[in-house]
Structures are given as structure tokens and as C-alpha cells.
Amino acid sequence: MFEPFSRLGDKRIDDETFLQTLGALLDPSEGSVALRYCGLANAAALLWWYLPDLNWAGFYLRDDDGDIPILRLGPFQGLPACTSIPFGKGVCGTAASTGLPQVVADVHAFAGHISCDSASRSELVVPIFLGGDPRPGGAIGDPSQAVVGVIDLDSPLAGRFEVDDASFVERVANVLGEKLFPYQSAS
């Protein structure tokens, strides 16, 4: 059973404790879809519990069944959401296609924003990479090819997310990529 950790009020220490707790909640998936979903469900709940002022916290996962990769709804906390988002569309699709975090202070000012909850005013989306690394072995290339999904956080407060939030959520994405989407060895 999960026992919430005590927040000390020092963001650096609390964030480290969060990452340790997250890592302990994740069983390496070794390719198992069920274990990935269990881990992502716990991660969504932990993000929802830890980060203040959210109205949605969850994941969209890459589906290459078609000409353009699609993000499909994964585990989340919040109201029901859009079930598919093409790469390059909306905040989530932009993060996936560029391989870059998207910090949006006002979703109404983001061209092409896809609204699933009309109460959302700001959004932070961070890509999750295969093995936690956008460029395996330092290879130069298109980081979107290594995107396996995105972390999507919404808030009813305009300007809720800052660069520090993006840096923290990138660390969360790295843990998820390493544990749940590891490189598969060719044996």
C-alpha cells in the first residue's frame, strides 16, 4: 500500500523524494503492456497527489498504426479526455512531434489547442522517450522517433506552469522511459 511521503517544504528535497517514490512504484515492464499501464496509472495518481492546482494529469501513448503517429489516451486522473491526438496537433501532438516540452501559460492563445476540459487554462506537456533518452548513444537524429508518449498536465489557473515545473516533469519522464519503456536487447 502506498503511504504518502511527508513534504518538507524544500522543493529540491521534495522533488527528489517524489522521484524515489515513483521509481519504487514502477516494476520494469520488459515490454508488458499490462505492467506499463499499472506503472502509468500509479504515476498519474502520484502526479495528481503531488502537484498542486491540476485538473488533469495523465498520459498519451504513441500508436504507429497509420501514416501519421497518433497519441492514444493512457492512464489519467481528471475528467474524461480526448482519445486520439495526431502528432503535430495541439499541445500534446506538438510535444510529441518536436520532442520538446511545451509550457503553455494560456491554452486559448495556443494555435490549434485541443480542448478536452473547458476549465483548463494552462498546460504542460513533456515527451517520454524510449529508454528515457531522446537520442540513444548521443546519435544525431529526429528525437520524435524515440517518443513513446507524453505526460500531460492541465491546470484551471492561467500561467500555472513554469520552466522549473518542466524540468521536474522531464525528470519524471526519464524515470518512466527507463523503467517502463526500456531498450529491448537483440538476443
pLDDT digits (tens, 9 = 90+) for 90-123: 999 999 999 999 999 999 888 877 777 778 999 9
Q: What percent of the chain has pLDDT over 90?
A: 67
Host domain of residue 28: 11-180
Three cell numbers, residue 60:
498519451
Inside any domain, residue 1: no
Pairing of strands 122-129, 102-104: antiparallel
The span from the CA of 66 to the CA of 68, in Å, is 6
The answer to whether position 132 is within a domain reads yes
- Does residue 19 lie in a domain region? yes
Tell me: pLDDT of 185 over 50.
no
Average of per-residue pLDDT across 54-60: 97
What's the whole-model pTM score? 0.91
Residues above pLDDT 70, as percent of the chain: 91
Average pLDDT of the chain, as a whole number: 89
In-domain check, residue 87: yes
Which helix H or strand E contains 9, and what residues bound it? none
Average pLDDT over residues 1-13: 81
Residue 6 lies in a domain: no
Q: Which amino acid is at 63?
A: D
Asked whether residue 50 is assigned to any structural domain, the reply reads yes
Position 49 in a domain? yes
Report the pLDDT averaged over residues 24-45. Answer: 90
Domain count, the chain: 1
Q: Is residue 4 part of a domain?
A: no
pLDDT of res. 1? 56
Of 46, 41, 32, residue with least CA distance to 59: 41
Write the DSSP string, 9-59. S-HHHHHHHHHHHHHHHPPP-TT-HHHHHHHHHHHHHHHHHHSSS-SEEEE
Q: Measured between alpha carbons, how far is 134 from 13 in angstroms, rounded to an integer?
A: 26
Q: What is the CATH number for 17?
A: 3.30.450.40
